[in-house]
Amino acid sequence: MPFIRRLALCAALAFCALPLRAATEDVTVFAAASLTGALDAVAEAWAAETGHRAVLSYGGSSAMARQIQQGAPADIFIAASADWMDAVATSGDVQADTRRDILGNTLVLIAQGQAAPVKVDASLDLPGMLDGGRLAMALVDAVPAGVYGKQALVSLGLWDGAAPLVAQADSVRGALAFVAQGEAPLGIVFATDAAAEERVSVIGTFPAGSHAPITYPAALTAQATSPVAAEFLDYLTSDPARRIWAAAGFSAP
């Protein structure tokens, strides 16, 4: 056999012997707005390891859930409360056997810039602290941070005085922006949101018993079929991901 033909045959056999890398795939993730930043870092780490890409769409958990129920093309849903995951599970829009709680969080009171700390209990004078301004919160009957916030204020006997002064935003990041931009002197957000915005400071933490436990459930949607989507869901609780979550201030569920 001529030398050139032998060389070509050897090259072909060597190529066939190489392990084949799966084609790059995109995984679409609908996630709670409070995961912005940390989930971006998790997705980047996963992409560096696997070559695949997570396409992230953020918003209030209520809006994300409704979009999934209406057929939006998502592979994974990560909510900031069990209630909205329950809703999409009840409607059959997630694969119930893939559901798991991946994170926890804390509810805090924030102010613009640096401000003196306060004790968040039944004696807190929110109307006096607001001095005619507004208390920024996510939608109190829909978005998890707002729901938890209302629960806490009701539990502490502060809701009746605060309710007329609440300025509601479509997401917790919207409430955070109200305070950061000086549109509201105070706000109620998750601790991780406050940590992501240098223009605000945490002045108090709501007692854990004043609201339902803050958990972030995640699951594959009913329409997710790719093994790569399941791989990214598993990666959310991997050691590399846990280090990123912890650095951002999230706790274990």
Mark the binding-site residues for molybdate, compressed into ranges: 34, 61, 145, 172
Q: In what order do the strands lie in the sheet with 100-104?
A: 53-59, 26-32, 76-78, 215-220, 100-104
Q: For the stretch 95-127, what's the b/e string if a residue is b when 16 or more beta carbons lie within 10 angstroms of its beta carbon?
A: beebbeebbebbbbbbbbeebeebebeeebebe
* H or E element at residue 78: strand 76-78
Q: In what order do the strands lie in the sheet with 107-112?
A: 166-169, 135-138, 186-190, 107-112, 200-205
CA distance 13 to 20: 14
User: Which residues are part of a known binding site?
Assistant: 34, 61, 145, 172
Amino acid type, 98 = T
Contact between 92 and 110 under an 8 Å Cβ cutoff? The reply is no
Structure-block tokens of residue 43: 């997705």
> What residues does 59 pair with on adjacent strands?
32
Compute the 3-state secondary structure of the chain and give helix, strand, coil in percent, each to the nearest 5. Answer: 45, 20, 35
Three-point CA angle 46, 52, 57, nearest 5°: 80
